[in-house]
Structure 1
Amino acid sequence: MTANAINNEIAALLPRLRRFARSIVYNRDDADDLVQIAVERGLGRSAQWEPGTRLDSWMFRIMKNAWIDEVRSRIRRDALFAPEEAGEHVGDGFAEAQQQRMAIEKAVSMLSDEHRMVIALVLVDGLPYKEAAEVLEIPMGTLTSRLVRARAALQELLSDQARTVK
């Protein structure tokens, strides 16, 4: 595959890369920065991609590793700020759906990085278990057990939030 073709394929993956980044980061600016870092690394190392393998899995792996690098480099972490856009629709019918979305985002943000990545790849992006395991570089059994624990933790967090609201 030519370099131009790889560039076009990576460009076509941008919506999925942004969705994955937003699933693991939850800050729009940080997610955009993460996508930029992953795309730069992917384009710069496109010669390392092996034709015949999935380019999307390769790019997700680059993004996962970039996020791990970022987390390790941060002194302060786990600060969650609602984006400015979160208050745009206060008072209309959209507000309740927005509140639910924000509650889910908050609950997911409270999960460990491992659980957030599994949720993002399997439940948000819809990758098959085998491909998600390859992206995360873990055995399939580890992926399935992490997914079970992540779902249970997420369900508990959401039910705790529902109890505190009532």
Structure 2
Amino acid sequence: MAAETAATETVAVRATHTVADFHKLLVTTLPRLRVQALALTRNRSDADDLVQAAVTSALAAKDSFTPGTNFGAWMFRILRNRFISDVRRKRETTDIDDVPSSAFARPGAQEDSLVMRELRGHLGRLPAEQRTALVMVTVQGLSYEEVAAAMDCAVGTAKCRVFRARQTLQRWLTGEERGVETPVAARKVSSSPRATRRHTARREDGAGRASPV
């Protein structure tokens, strides 16, 4: 009896949620959906195709959405499932294109175009789940609870993915991995007091030597 009552109430709630309401939610979610698609596909054209496919699927399945629940998370699940299906069918990957990266920049990095280019490249090297979680938190401003709901994982898992993504980017940008020197690492070394003292000492030593006649 209780189950029948709950089912009746659900039908009643959905009946009050018009097609116009659904379309309004869909339009509002599109900007975030496109960022999520870029994070998954790493290609602008593929992202547009993925969003279009996800919207088509959402419109076909609009009756399965329960008003009052997280529409963004519901849409992302559709987007992700479509992406997984496409990957399984095509079995191909592309290079990263336009995933927003300014939100990941360390203080002052926006002033250095080389660092931003390097950051964008490193972002594409992150595992897809880490990259997606990082984009959702830092670019879209979603909470960890919302990310967990969208990615169908525990809140702790969502936090771990973001933490690991940030940690990995920091390590890559500072050249701590395998001793690789990056623009950020080079700038840190060249501006260190020890490096400055060595450079000054070399100049003074050179100035003190007599030039041959």
Q: Look up the SS of the partner of 1:13 in the other structure.
A: helix
Q: CA shift at 1:47, angstroms?
A: 0.5
- 1:158–1:25 distance in 2 versus 1, CA, 3 Å: farther
TM-score (structure 2 length as normaliser): 0.64
CA distance in 2, matches of 1:58, 1:18: 15
Does residue 104 (structure 1) correspond to residue 122 (structure 2)? The answer is: no
Percent identity of equivalent pairs: 34
Give the aligned partner of residue 9 of structure 1: 25
Q: Following superposition of structure 1 onto structure 2, how do residues 2-81 of structure 1 map, counting pairs within 5 Å?
A: 2-77=18-93, 79-80=94-95
CA distance in 2, matches of 1:36, 1:98: 32
Greater relative contact order, per chain length (Cα 8 Å cut-off, separation 6+):
1
Give the aligned partner of residue 133 of structure 2: 118
TM-score (structure 1 length as normaliser): 0.80
- In structure 2, the gaps of 5 or more residues are 1-16, 99-110, 187-213
Q: CA shift at 1:104, angstroms?
A: 2.1
1:22-58: per-residue Cα shift (whole Å, max 9, x none)?
Answer: 2332311011111111111111111110111021121
Does residue 143 (structure 1) correspond to residue 158 (structure 2)? The answer is: yes
CA distance in 1, matches of 2:155, 2:145: 6
- 1:52–1:80 distance in 2 versus 1, CA, 3 Å: same
Q: Residue 23 of structure 1 contacts residue 124 of structure 1 at CA under 8 Å; is this kept in 2?
A: no
The aligned amino acid for 1:111 is: L
How many residues of Structure 1 are paired with residues of Structure 2 in the alignment?
A: 154
- 1:104–1:69 distance in 2 versus 1, CA, 3 Å: farther
Q: Residue 115 of structure 1 contacts residue 147 of structure 1 at CA under 8 Å; is this kept in 2?
A: yes
Q: Residue 49 of structure 1 contacts residue 58 of structure 1 at CA under 8 Å; is this kept in 2?
A: yes
Q: Look up the SS of the partner of 1:138 in the other structure.
A: coil
Moved over 6 A (4+): none
